[in-house]
Chain A
């Protein structure tokens, strides 16, 4: 094992928690998917509202922890020095992990509270994706500030700011600042959802996209040896396109929540352009790989980079565009169409990014001098995850189209129309497919675990021909 910077040891801590939470996300996702088929399952113990919340919250936290791990990993490469506050960095990791543990225990065992501020502060805020109680919100911001301080201080102390680090510093500040927009209570549901989307959209469709742009840019330099000048040129173009389309693309969440009509046009126009930066990423990745004739020292990382480019484009770009214009969204809003889009987008854009970093780290730790990092298991996990994700996304897409037409277009969007549509075989049967592919995804995750435990450990066998 080659020498690790303290910064990289912190990265390992973050990734170890992230991979466990990845598993938790899948387990709770499977339970929630099964509850669609058999609603009596754990009905009085862990109702759907809790399993679904755990499924999504585990995802948000493990992706974020992976990103933070990625940042700590590349920091010494970009600054030429170790992190300034190693102990502080470890303390922040411990605080974040402990806070996540406490929040999850409260979610599972307390679940809900009375309709008062105590519940909002200590049990749940009850706002999808950011249900974490207020005390945890404050903790998350504090931890993000520590991480920000660590990254910024390390960069400034090194005396040079690379393009990647410059973009990262601005993006991280926006990411931490935006979270504050979700930390208040108002009885006005329109204001509530307006600011809630500031956090959710401007994280997922703006600052997270730029952050993975930085991470993937660095990964391309590292895995394929793409020159920095080209990476940084592309990154700036991507920032222009992501922020240029994504900031006002926020408008596609403001069609139907009581906000003024001009959001229909603004949201429709800019969110239709949101796939453009994702096309740029595909061109970038394919071009780089072609130039280097697929020669790499890290095969799993390279293939996950490809998946990231294509998955991001199809999941976030194509699947997002499918229901982003207000003329279709009037009917598809709040249906399984959104679940289909969400699954593919998060897998393609963010899960793939974190897995790329897992393999880059493993290569450094296990096979720094070569030979190339490769195994049979990563291919099984890779193909298994792609097939099962496509299966889940396809199933939800069929269910989403059918729900849109039956419940919203032909039906009158009422309680009974909802039930009738959900019972229609075009909706109910895909829920079975989704669960089946979910199991396949979980099995692929187990293969992934086996692979990251073993890849690069064994020395390559050398055939000795008899004299």
Chain B
């Protein structure tokens, strides 16, 4: 859609104002019918705009349509960099990086992501963590979890894994054994297949363009105490 947010806002307000004025002409503003008609017009106009925007958003956010990466992005190296023009961080593709030493076809990758999403829902991940910032606040946000430096710094040595994805699988299958804090993740009995699917999902999710959320991920000036 080629309209800016301001044009959409002005158009919706203007339509409400014009439609309401036409339907209430000759009536006093103290008459309840005046507000009844305005309420009907305002609700219809806003709901119509919501539907139009919904269709446009669905189109722009289909899998593989730019903002939402193709499933085969799990075969690529993903980065997160500041875009100088917009002043916001965006995911970038930095070459090839097979997952679990395998290059997935589109169909295989889609199957894996579907399994990952089903697993995430079946374990109520959102009731401790946030995904894309939505969920509960008892555990870290997972939006860019794939890019988290802790996997390389702490979890690979701790789990004895060779790669990041292997460390993630080991952690997900036995989070109670590899706890790094008193607030431990419970063992949710993920199978290896499920854990691998969740890792693939986290990698794919880190490549979604989230308009810069979270800002400067991984670049911390926070002093640990």
Contact = CB atoms under 8 A, between A and B. Distances in A.
A119 B125 CA distance: 14
Interface stretch (A98-106, A355-363, A416-424): A416-424
A126 B137 contact: no
B61 A258 contact: yes
Contacts, number: 295
A390 B149 CA distance: 38
B98 to A, nearest CB: 21
A123 B122 contact: yes
Contact of B208 (A48, A187, A190, A260): A190
B212 interface: yes
Contacts of B61: 188, 190-191, 194, 258-260
A123 B121 CA distance: 10
B105 interface: no
Nearest to A425: B225
Contact of A413 (B47, B150, B214): B214
Interface stretch (A11-19, A59-67, A229-237, A370-378): A229-237
Nearest to A232: B32
Most buried by B among A40, A113, A258, A264: A258
B81 interface: no
A295 B188 CA distance: 58
Interface residues of B, number: 99
A232 B125 CA distance: 44
Interface string B124-168: 111110111111111111011100111000100000000000000
B7 to A, nearest CB: 9
B73 to A, nearest CB: 13
Nearest to B35: A236
B205 interface: yes
Given A237-B39, A413-B214, A120 B122 contact: yes
B222 A410 contact: yes
A324 to B, nearest CB: 14
Name the residue among A248, A410, A420 with the largest chain B CB count within 10 angstroms.
Answer: A248
A44 B184 CA distance: 11
Contacts of B116: 115, 187
B82 interface: no
Given A112-B124, A116-B118, A247-B43, A339 B137 contact: yes
B214 A266 contact: no
B134 A193 contact: yes
Which of the listed residues A115, A239, A262, A335 has the most CB atoms from chain B within 10 Å of its own CB? A115
B119 interface: yes
Contacts of B125: 49, 126
Contact of A262 (B8, B154, B186): B8
Contacts of A331: 215
Given A49-B124, A414-B140, A420-B225, A119 B188 contact: no
A260 B67 contact: yes
Nearest to B198: A115
A331 B56 CA distance: 27
Given A255-B211, A333-B213, A412-B218, A53 B5 contact: no
18 contacts: A44-B186, A49-B186, A112-B188, A115-B119, A115-B122, A124-B121, A125-B121, A126-B120, A126-B124, A189-B131, A191-B62, A193-B132, A194-B54, A256-B210, A260-B57, A262-B5, A265-B4, A420-B225
- The 5 A-B residue pairs whose C-beta atoms are closest, nearest first, are A265-B5, A115-B119, A126-B121, A256-B213, A236-B35
